[in-house]
Every structure is written in structure tokens, then in C-alpha cells.
Amino acid sequence: MTIIAASGTVIAAAALFIVLSGFAGLKNFSLEFSSFVDPDLKVFPSEGKSFTLSNEDATAISSITGIIEYSKTIEERVILEFENKRQIVTMKGVDENFTKVTSIDSMIYFGIWLEPGTDQIVSGGGVSNKLSYGVLDLTKHQKIYVPKPGKGQITSVKGAFNSIKAYNIGLLDINEDINNEYIFANIETARYLLNYSEDQISSIEFKLDPDADQTQVTADIQSVFGDKITIKDRAQLNDALYKMLNTENVAVYLIFTLVIIIALFNVIGALIMMILDKKESLNTLFNLGTTTKDIRRIFFLQGTLMTILAGTIGAVLGLIIVFLQKQFALVMLTPSLPYPVELKAINFLIVLLTIIVLGILASKLASQRISKSLVKS
């Protein structure tokens, strides 16, 4: 009975560690894709869709310690047309520094990145599929429309839009949102379509030195622009994704903690069976002067030691399995992609702490079954 109870605890502890490591790996795997397109810091206008970056502001930014590179961008919803098919997409106009701030060009699975000074675009794979166009087909072009700003009545459809002919030269595969929603163009193309001035932009994206103090850099950038801008880091740019992943992690932990609780019922049952089996020995101890409290402490310590030992063995077993998966890719998601796992000391400590706390409670509950009437009978 004791062996069965301990085995259940070992398996439950190992399962909890493996699942926590698996979700940590999935979290890092998911966030890797955002790191290809999201900067370390991004500056937005506090009000409206754009703000101005003067030469003085640019000089001040360049002098801030910790900034490796920055890129000016213009972002707006546009109408993309190809052979009488239309879709409203988000166009992001970027300058030549954009590939120095992000690694988006490494996510192109067909074609090439933008050439400066051209009306080329790079599309998300989903946009390309929906409008049925390919890459580097110079005999066919895409057309981008943007409503002209202003007031008054529209006298003609042609006069209501700025438009430009563009040629798609690359396809991106990053995540579902970007694949189905975004096209990238040179910043001059976006500036022309939106009638923006030379110093008017939608955002500035920064790449920081790995050793930089992000809080200090953020404060220095804020001091340059004052209240007219808002600054977000990578976590804030993906707050919905972070919240979803963290919520899933907590939910899985609670589910497998419930599995451990069920396994510890076996420990309670084993202790109660031992108490009943040792009734005559307990009666002898009681007659020799051992108090009921001392007898309870004996079984409490036995149950606690059993769960702690079993939990430790289970956590170590889980650690070995996760290590083998990380080193030798025992389980594959696809023929070329192993199931991602991440070894973290915090997960090991969480498993041990969970087992210790629940084991103490289970042992306490079982030992309370010992009463004076039980040991005297």
C-alpha cells in the first residue's frame, strides 16, 4: 500500500514538472516570433496617429546611451487591390534601419526584402493567398488606395483617394495576425499615400544594447519628446499574448495540482491502513507511556517524509525526461520541429513546494485519525 501511494506521488510530481517545462518551452517558442518583428522599445503619439520628429529630436535620440539603432515608421489602414480583388490591410512604411532594429527580413520564406527608393511591398502570406498574387511578377502589379484627408464633398472616386502601383517582392510567415493583416513598404511610399510631411511619422522603434538599463533609456526618450508620446516595451506590445500564455500556465498548474491532491489521497489511505494494522503496537506504546500526541507525530512524520521523498524522486525523474527531450528531441511536433521544453529552476522549486505543502496537509489529516480510544482498544 505504501509503495502504491508513493508511486502515485512520484508519477504526479514528474508529470507536473514535465508539463510546466513544456509550457515554458511553448511560451518561449511563441514569443520568439514576436521578437523578430517587435523592437525593444516603441514610441507612439499620445494623441492622434502621428507626431513630428525634428532634427533636434533625432540628434537628442542619437546621443542617448544604450540605443544601438532606431527606425522611423508610418502605419495606416489601406485598401490593397489586385485583379479586381480588394482587401483592407495595414500598411507599415519603414526606413532603411528597420532591418537593423528587427530581424523581419529573416522571416521571408519566398522572395526578398524591400529595396530603398522603390514602390515595392512585402506581404504577409495570408494577404497574398487571399488576393491570389505571387512574388516578383513584374507584368502584374498591386494597387494601394488611401482616402485623401480633407473636408467637403467628394466629386469623383478618383479624386477621393491617393493611389500607387506597387510590386510584391517577398512573402512573410511570422504569425497569423501579421500574415493575414500586414504589408510592408518603404517609408517614402507611405508618406506619399498619406500626404505626410518629411518629419511626420507614426512611431519610432528602438533596438537597445543588451546591457542597457531599459528604464533609464525610456526616461531619456520621454524627456526628449515630453508628453506627446507613449513608450511601450516588447512585453507591453504583446500584452494580450503574455496574458494568454500566463493564464494557460496557471490553469495547467492548477489542473495538475488537482492530480497531485488525488494521488495524495492514496497517502492518506496508506497511513490510515498502517494505523489500523499497527493497533496492537500502538496500544503497547500507549501503555508504556507514549502519549497520543506523540503517536500522531510518528505517523505525521512518516507521511511527510514519504511524500517529500516521493515528490523529490518524481521531480528528478521529470528533470531527466525534460533534459533528454531537450538534448535528443525524443518527441517531435513535426519531422523537423521537436516539442519545445525549457529547464527552469523555478519549476523544480514549484513542484517540490507543492508536494511538501500538500504532503504535510495529507499527513496531518491522516494522523488526526489517531485518538485515545483507538490506541486503547
- Predicted confidence band of residue 138 (pLDDT cuts 50, 70, 90): confident
Q: 59 to each of 48, 231, 290, 348, how far by Cα in Å? A: 24, 19, 83, 48
pLDDT tens digits for 66-112? 999 999 999 999 999 999 899 999 999 999 999 999 999 999 999 99
Cβ-defined contacts of 357-361 (< 8 Å, 24+) = 358/257, 358/260, 358/261, 358/264, 358/307, 359/9, 359/264, 359/267, 359/303, 359/304, 359/306, 359/307, 359/308, 359/311, 360/304, 360/307
Q: Looking at the structure, tell me whether residues 61 and 138 fall in a common domain.
A: yes
Q: Looking at the structure, tell me whether residues 72 and 7 fall in a common domain.
A: no
370 neighbors 275 (Cβ within 8 angstroms) = yes
pLDDT of residue 158: 64
Mean pLDDT of the chain: 90
pLDDT of residue 157: 58
Within 10 Å of residue 54's Cβ, how many Cβ atoms?
Answer: 9
pTM, two decimals, is 0.74
Q: Looking at the structure, tell me whether residues 54 and 150 fall in a common domain.
A: yes
Q: Give the end of a domain, one of 198, 233, 268.
A: 233
Please state at what angle helix 292-328 crosses helix 239-277, rounded to 10 degrees: 140
pLDDT at residue 155 is higher than 60: no
Q: Looking at the structure, tell me whether residues 258 and 151 fall in a common domain.
A: no
Q: Looking at the structure, tell me whether residues 56 and 204 fall in a common domain.
A: yes
Highest-confidence segment of 95-99, 254-258, 295-299: 95-99
Q: Looking at the structure, tell me whether residues 289 and 327 fall in a common domain.
A: yes
pLDDT of residue 235: 84
Q: Which residue has the cell 542617448?
A: 64
What are 173's three cell numbers? 510567415
What are 209's three cell numbers? 544594447
Q: Which residues contact 89 (CB under 8 A, 6 or more apart)?
A: 77, 78, 79, 80, 127, 181, 182, 183
What residues make up the domain containing 352?
2-32+241-376
pLDDT at residue 129 is higher than 90: yes
Q: Give the end of a domain, one of 215, 233, 251.
A: 233
Q: Looking at the structure, tell me whether residues 219 and 258 fall in a common domain.
A: no
- Predicted confidence band of residue 121 (pLDDT cuts 50, 70, 90): very high
> For the chain, what is the domain count?
2
What is the Cα Rg of the chain in Å?
Answer: 31
pLDDT tens digits for 210-254? 999 999 999 999 999 999 999 999 888 888 888 888 898 899 899
Which range (72-86, 87-101, 161-175, 282-296) has the least confidence? 282-296
Q: What is the 3-state secondary structure (H, E, C) of 59-89?
A: HHHHCCCCEEEEEEEEEEEEEEEECCEEEEE
Residue 276 DSSP SS3: helix
pLDDT of residue 153: 59
Which range (50-59, 154-163, 351-360) has the least confidence? 154-163
pLDDT tens digits for 2-57? 787 788 899 999 999 999 999 898 888 877 767 778 899 999 999 999 999 999 99
Q: Looking at the structure, tell me whether residues 227 and 246 fall in a common domain.
A: no
Q: Looking at the structure, tell me whether residues 150 and 54 fall in a common domain.
A: yes
pLDDT at residue 343 is higher than 60: yes
Q: Give the end of a domain, one of 211, 233, 255.
A: 233
> How much of the chain exceeds pLDDT 70, in percent?
96
Q: Looking at the structure, tell me whether residues 55 and 178 fall in a common domain.
A: yes
Q: Which residues contact 179 (CB under 8 A, 6 or more apart)?
A: 124, 125, 126, 127, 172, 173
pLDDT of residue 246: 86
Q: Looking at the structure, tell me whether residues 122 and 148 fall in a common domain.
A: yes
**Alpha carbons 316 and 84: distance in angstroms, whole number:** 62
Q: Looking at the structure, tell me whether residues 204 and 258 fall in a common domain.
A: no
Residue 205 DSSP SS3: strand
Q: Which residue has the higher pLDDT, 139 or 66?
A: 66
